Structure 1
Amino acid sequence: MFLLLSLYVCGLLLRGDAQDQAALWRGNDRSGRCQYTFTVPSPVESSCPQTGGPEMEDLKARLNLLEVLVYQVTGKDTERPRVGVARAQADLQDALNRAVGERNLLQEEKERLERELGALQRRMDEMRRETERLRNKPCPPQTPMVPPSPPLQNSGVVRPAGGSSPMSPLVNRPNRQGDSRNLRDSEWQYGRPGYQELKAAVTEIPAPVGSDENIGCGELISVANPVTHRKADNIAGKYGVWMQDPEAVSPYGPDMVWRIDTIGTEVRQLFGYEDMEQLSKGFPSKVLLLPELMESTGATMYRGSLYYQRRRSRTLIRYDLSSESIAARRDLPHAGFHGQYPYSWGGYTDIDLSVDEQGLWAVYSTSKAKGAIVISQLDPHSLAVKKSWETNIRKTSVANSFIICGRLYTLSSYSAANATINYMYDTATSQGKAIAVPFKNQYLYTCMVDYNLPQRKLFAWDNYHLVSYDLKLGRTQAN
């Protein structure tokens, strides 16, 4: 580069007319590099052409065209992101508004639940204070025992089998409020009642007619009109099951009543009440959460365990109440489930468990039985099938069923006001027959009927209502 510059300078210097006017400078530029600058006047032009000549105009036109192209290309592209950003901001604002609204709704729901919880806690505190007050209240003094007069000796006193002391038939009857607990309380168990207590009982409840027919395990003769104990609080209680344990195990007593609402797909809450009175008031003393979801209204209670069908399966579960854990599980062989062989009202009632004087039972059907009712007696510990019977009545043709003394009884309708118990199958003789025992559906939608062994009654769930029925059984035929 320096050589070319030197040759060019020499060429210019050779020209005599410009030799005395040429100039050469050397210096560092802004970046610090050495730069040579050479100037020489034009031998032809006296002045430089104007900057606004044709070349500059052409350059300006090209620059304007370039600016237009740049605007067309980049202007639209930059405008689109602005519109996208605006839309994104609007969407984010809408999402924020929705989140705030949902948060407010959740906050209101939380406050409502807190108020309900507070009210329930206050009610529980009142119950505890009332219980403590009753416990501390002194017992009334016992009056001297008055010997019964001769007419009283023949006024319905029944001598129990295997015993020597007479027993009033009133001890197995319900009271006026519909409380069907056994009237033999702790005082009556450990001593003979005073005259005033017996007189009060006689005044409160008239002596039943033919009550001796309820003793033993004869065939079902009649079912009384229902007695309502409680109405469910909300839609979750339209269908359900309630029961008592005939052989209760600590820490729960024999008067404990259990309830399960079976509406919805997440059926797992088990409510416990100390007695029938607390059930009617709606004051549960225990709430358990089942580890496996439950299906249908076919659950039952026996020997300190809840027996029920796991959702969407033929698996039976034994849930131990004391340890609050699953103690056993087993599939019921070939049993239909989840709507294959339900009762006529539906409810996925394919498997119905119950307890009577002879133990634990399952009522269901199989494809081999072609939909006919199958009765199986189960081992309460392992849930294994001990023995089975196949009837000749279709399960989907009856509204419900229950077992008393090893006999299966079926209900004709769940919605007719005046239904009948229309069929009986005796597992002792493996024989079935048609019967006609009147049965009243008080609230026109009975989804559960079971025999309650502790009170020797029928428990039913009829369209939000928990009801019970007194029974009359025939005398057991002597062998």
Structure 2
Amino acid sequence: MEGLKARLSMLEVLVSRLTGGDAGVPQRPGAGAQSELQEALNRAVGERNLLQGEKGRLERELEGLQRRMEEMRRETERLRNRPCPPQTPLVPPAPSLQSGGLMRPGGGSSQMSHLMTRPNRQGDSSSLRDSAWQYGSPGFQELKAEVTEVPAPDGSEDNTGCGELVSVGEPVTHRKADNIEGKYGVWMQDPEAVSPYGPSMVWRIDTIGADVRKLFGYEDMEQLSKGFPSKVLLLPDQVESTGATVYRGSLYYQRRRSRTLIRYDLASETIAARRELPHAGFHGQFPYSWGGYTDIDLAVDEQGLWAVYSTNKAKGAIVISQLDPHSLEVKRSWETNIRKKSVANSFMLCGKLYTVASYTSPETVINYMYDTETSQGKTVSIPFRNRYRYNSMIDYNLAQRKLFAWDNFHMVSYDIRLGRQQAN
């Protein structure tokens, strides 16, 4: 009992000192050193707990990065192992651009009546699907094209506004995409921007992946070059290919694996209109020569909203339709005699369609122009450069009066020069 009492007394003194209640208690030899050791122990335990917490956080971040790397590795392997779908010619080759009689009368003629035989409707409909077309593999598509280069002409006209394209400058690189999803893509500006977004806003979509829905917004070109988006929107429907555009506060794009066009209001972040483009080929039926399911290409110029595509009735020839930007109804259409698969890309400028000969040749040409005002076309030879040798998107940017392009992960722009408006 006496031994227990002595031990309890020692514990009471130690507890009193540790809790600050050592006033009036006689100090024993070695008690100060014991108190200092206890304080040092408490500090060491606290530091250990902090380090353990930091270690746990870093381990969680490492696990997240490892998961992302594994997902990217699997996606890369999947893309490498998936072959491109076989491309079977659907129509005989079109006449050479050097031959005469390339045009068929368009714009309201009886030859275009087949484009209006079925009514446009809001919502999706399977009744407009062409029985002759069944799309195949859902993987992304790459094709190859043989191109014949032609010499460049001499041009001396001055830029007087909305005339014919005379020359295209050297490409200027603004940004390179960060990962495989950005090998193909589309970037654009709204020439008639609507609040809350200003005229300097730049929009971008990376178009490789199983679920293409992300729309990135950048306050200006500088923020785009730095890679700092101010807005990221998740679209309600998946995007098909690189044919999207922005106009009057809305994003216009083709829904994946369908001929359905969607108008997505950027301010309310909702679908404002949805309509099928009558008889249009989709998902690899009538793409550009590089592939990429580029069957429907939407564009904006000084005259409004356009769709460039083809149909079974047109036998793969390029069809140009002017669309109502509110309802997406076809207002008027023109049919050319140029096979869509024979050109690498196209763009609308001042109501004229221009086609590019090659998407891989570093020194190619813009080889054809069709004027919707006169319903006539002609061959041209305007030098055009594919700096990175895989150009998957070319559009006229009315906001800056430049050409925007997506060339093998790179977002580039081209200065242009226009000549005088030709008399009818």
The TM-score normalised by the length of structure 2 is 0.64
Out of 383, 391, 398, the residue aligned to residue 446 of structure 1 is: 391
Match of 1:473 in 2: 418
1:113 Cα deviation (Å)? 9.1
**2:153 matches 1:237:** no
Q: Deviations over 1:157-185 (max 9, x none)?
A: xxxxxxxxxxxxxxxxxxxxxxxxxxxxx
Match of 2:139 in 1: none
Distance 1:106 1:349 in 2: 41
Q: Which structure is richer in relative contact order (CA contacts within 8 A, separation 6 or more)?
A: 2
Structure 1 segments unaligned to the other structure (5+ residues): 1-103, 115-209
* SS in structure 2 of the partner of residue 329 of structure 1: strand
Distance 1:321 1:379 in 2: 18
**2:328 matches 1:360:** no
Residue type matched to 1:361 in 2?
W
Q: Deviations over 1:356-415 (max 9, x none)?
A: 000000000000000000000000000000000000100000000000000000000000
Distance 1:272 1:287 in 2: 6
In structure 2, relative to structure 1, the CA distance for the partners of 1:109 and 1:410 (3 Å cut) is: farther
Runs of 4+ in 1 over 4 A off after TM superposition: 104-107, 111-114
Distance 2:347 2:396 in 1: 6
Match of 2:234 in 1: 289
In structure 2, relative to structure 1, the CA distance for the partners of 1:380 and 1:105 (3 Å cut) is: farther
* SS in structure 2 of the partner of residue 278 of structure 1: helix
1:211 Cα deviation (Å)? 11
Match of 2:19 in 1: none
1:284 Cα deviation (Å)? 0.4
**2:293 matches 1:348:** yes
* SS in structure 2 of the partner of residue 279 of structure 1: helix
Residue type matched to 2:287 in 1?
P
Distance 1:429 1:373 in 2: 16
**2:316 matches 1:371:** yes
Match of 2:64 in 1: 110
Instruction: Give the length in aligned residue pairs.
Output: 281
Distance 1:345 1:359 in 2: 26
In structure 2, relative to structure 1, the CA distance for the partners of 1:341 and 1:433 (3 Å cut) is: same
In structure 2, relative to structure 1, the CA distance for the partners of 1:246 and 1:469 (3 Å cut) is: same
Out of 424, 433, 447, the residue aligned to residue 369 of structure 2 is: 424
Q: Is the 8 A contact 2:205 2:214 kept in 1?
A: yes
Q: Is the 8 A contact 2:190 2:201 kept in 1?
A: yes
Structure 1, 211-220 or 305-314: larger mean CA deviation: 211-220
1:230 Cα deviation (Å)? 0.5
Distance 2:156 2:380 in 1: 22
* SS in structure 1 of the partner of residue 222 of structure 2: helix
Match of 1:455 in 2: 400
**2:337 matches 1:392:** yes
1:213 Cα deviation (Å)? 3.0
Identity of aligned residues (%): 78
1:265 Cα deviation (Å)? 1.9
Q: Is the 8 A contact 2:281 2:311 kept in 1?
A: yes
Match of 1:411 in 2: 356
Distance 1:105 1:226 in 2: 44
* SS in structure 1 of the partner of residue 158 of structure 2: helix
In structure 2, relative to structure 1, the CA distance for the partners of 1:234 and 1:356 (3 Å cut) is: same
In structure 2, relative to structure 1, the CA distance for the partners of 1:474 and 1:268 (3 Å cut) is: same
Q: Is the 8 A contact 2:184 2:208 kept in 1?
A: yes
Distance 2:184 2:169 in 1: 22
1:107 Cα deviation (Å)? 6.8
Distance 1:370 1:362 in 2: 17
Match of 1:334 in 2: 279
Structure 2 segments unaligned to the other structure (5+ residues): 1-57, 69-154
Distance 1:296 1:322 in 2: 23
Residue type matched to 2:392 in 1?
C
Q: How does 1:161-176 map to 2 (within 5 A)?
A: none
Match of 1:226 in 2: 171
Q: Is the 8 A contact 2:309 2:318 kept in 1?
A: yes
Out of 228, 241, 251, the residue aligned to residue 196 of structure 2 is: 251
CA-based RMSD: 2.1
1:440 Cα deviation (Å)? 0.3
1:473 Cα deviation (Å)? 0.4
The TM-score normalised by the length of structure 1 is 0.57
Q: Deviations over 1:20-76 (max 9, x none)?
A: xxxxxxxxxxxxxxxxxxxxxxxxxxxxxxxxxxxxxxxxxxxxxxxxxxxxxxxxx
Distance 2:59 2:329 in 1: 49
Residue type matched to 1:405 in 2?
C
1:106 Cα deviation (Å)? 8.6
Structure 1, 239-248 or 210-219: larger mean CA deviation: 210-219
Match of 1:268 in 2: 213
* SS in structure 2 of the partner of residue 475 of structure 1: coil
Distance 1:250 1:218 in 2: 31
Higher relative helix content: 1
Distance 2:205 2:289 in 1: 21
Q: Deviations over 1:99-152 (max 9, x none)?
A: xxxxx99974436799xxxxxxxxxxxxxxxxxxxxxxxxxxxxxxxxxxxxxx
Q: Is the 8 A contact 2:157 2:166 kept in 1?
A: no
Q: How does 1:143-158 map to 2 (within 5 A)?
A: none
Residue type matched to 2:64 in 1?
K
Distance 2:196 2:160 in 1: 30
Distance 2:63 2:382 in 1: 49
Q: Is the 8 A contact 2:157 2:418 kept in 1?
A: no
Match of 2:3 in 1: none
